[in-house]
A and B are shown apart, each in its own frame.
Chain A
Amino acid sequence: DQQVKQNSPSLSVQEGRISILNCDYTNSMFDYFLWYKKYPAEGPTFLISISSIKDKNEDGRFTVFLNKSAKHLSLHIVPSQPGDSAVYFCAASATSGTYKYIFGTGTRLKVLA
């Protein structure tokens, strides 16, 4: 049972354009969400997070949107740069739960120069 789903395994975007990565979840108890970026042969690195009390969080070129009613979040990267090419994982946790994150399967983003 995949509680966090990233249905697009890969995405290609032209440099300078917007990249939109999507994530869906099924557990309504999830109330904290994060995005991690992973380069080959490296561990994931934290990118941006959002609490369920907000519907948007912005950090530079990165914005995460949360739609609780749809159990959907998305990561927008504007403008996309070749260095953004990586695998992006979304993760969710429940503050009333056991403090573990449930990760999606990742989306490989390729930004074309």
Chain B
Amino acid sequence: GAGVSQSPSNKVTEKGKDVELRCDPISGHTALYWYRQSLGQGLEFLIYFQGNSAPDKSGLPSDRFSAERTGGSVSTLTIQRTQQEDSAVYLCASSLVVLAGETQYFGPGTRLLVL
């Protein structure tokens, strides 16, 4: 497609379960970013990929969070043993290259609710 897509759009899970969130970036974009937005909060940076490698994982809240990117395209964010505080909208963005000032194009997000 023309834009960044994310799936699922909504996910309800029980505390303690694992979830996988998927991001399909714009074709040809080498940079991919994950953010989350908790209720009433701004966008919190989680991790970014340059190609398939993740130079900056500093935003991952805990070791329950991990992400991977394969083939320089699709990325998966995995949250293990979900907690209620993980409830948020998880946003993925991509940009042509990794460069400060490069416009990031966002997907619609995955709304995660942990009961």
If the complex has contacts A93-B101, A99-B48, are A44 and B42 also in contact, measured as CB distance less than 8 A?
no
Of the listed residues B31, B91, B101, the one surrounded by the most CB atoms of chain A closer than 10 A to its CB is B101
Q: How large is the interface on B (under 10, 10 to 19, 20 to 34, 35 or more residues)?
A: 20 to 34
Main secondary structure of the interface of A (DSSP, over half): loop
Main secondary structure of the interface of B (DSSP, over half): loop
Chain A contributes a number of interface residues (CB within 8 A of B) equal to: 29
Neighbouring B residues of A43 by C-beta, 8 Å: 4, 91, 93, 106-109
Instruction: Tell me the smallest distance from the CB of A58 to a CB of chain B, in Å.
Output: 17
Q: Mark A59-75, 1 if CB is under 8 A from B, else 0.
A: 00000000000000000
Among residues of A, the one whose C-beta sits closest to the C-beta of B31 is: A99
The 7 closest A-B pairs by CB, nearest first: A43-B106, A105-B42, A103-B43, A95-B100, A32-B101, A93-B100, A103-B42
Seen from chain B, the residues whose Cβ lies within 8 Å of a Cβ on chain A are 4, 31, 33, 35, 40-45, 48, 55-56, 58-59, 91, 93, 98-109
Seen from chain A, the residues whose Cβ lies within 8 Å of a Cβ on chain B are 4, 6, 31-32, 34, 36, 41-46, 49, 51, 89, 91, 93-95, 97-106
